[in-house]
Amino acid sequence: MSYTISQHAYIKATLHSIKFPYAPVLGALIGKVRGGGNTGGGTTDTGDAAGSGGSAGSAGKAEVEVEDAVPLFHGCLLLPMLELALMQVEEYASSRGMAVVGLYAANERVDAVELAAGTRRVGDCIAKHCKDACCLLLDPKLMQQLLGTGAGAAAKGKEGGQGGGAGEADSDSAAPVEAHHAFKLYTWDSARVWRFQKPEAAGGSTGAASMRVRPATVAGILRSYLEEGRQWRLCDFEEHLEDVSRDWRNYEVME
């Protein structure tokens, strides 16, 4: 299983997180699944019908291309809001020949280094329709290292200490930070549990799935966008509900 994250998706997810550094951030990932035939509902390049019944563990040849990210929420999440948001995102993705293939998240605290229970539940809803779905969790420390001081200092500058967590949160500070390091990759396994896929220093993964960011130079582009203040132009679905004149699709942010 491999996941390729486009420049649009990577930058939008990061800008969303940086705009709300003291809030739990959540968004949807849209794209295509190539090969594997392992979706439970969404559109794939294989044209596989809904309910194919494959398990995440059997989709070794599947390739998920994440083409875009849709910022959704940055606060308390209510079920009616979530249902409305996902319905809108599914229609938007379908109109572009894509489907919802995952979600991204950033925790409220810098020392919260695992998927929150609420994030897992939202992920479960998405994975029921796309069993190759992924979840990308922002690693605040590695994002700061990737962007450097200045712009990077704003990346999820959470309260609550700077200590790293145990287990999956341990990072090799001596290793060079690459774009794919700044988000932790989780996949939905055959037991319907979200599993962290530990990355290798040079890309890929030691687990059952790998992730790469296209292009690898996305960090430089992201820095320039932050210098321009593009995070303040980005609008998530929650802000759209407060002011419907604001466009959650964010066409202008990536112009």
Q: Taking the CB of residue 27, how many other CB atoms lie within 10 A of it?
A: 26
70-110: pLDDT as tens digits: 999 998 888 999 999 999 999 999 999 999 999 999 999 88
CB-based contact 155:21 (threshold 8 Å): yes
Kindly report whether the global pTM for this prediction surpasses the value 0.85: no
d(C-alpha 154, C-alpha 158), whole Å: 9
Instruction: Give 123-143 pLDDT, tens digit per residue.
Output: 999 999 999 999 999 998 889
Q: How far is CA 158 from CA 131, 137, 233, in A?
A: 32, 15, 22
Q: Which tokens belong to 208?
A: 């059952």
CB 234 within 8 A of CB 253: yes
Q: Partners of 137 in the beta sheet?
A: 105, 184
What domains lie within the chain, and their CATH numbers? 2-254 (3.40.140.10)
pLDDT in tens, 194-238: 999 987 644 444 557 899 998 878 889 999 999 999 999 999 999
Give the pLDDT band (50/70/90) at residue 64: very high
First to last CA, the chain: 31
pLDDT at 157: 55
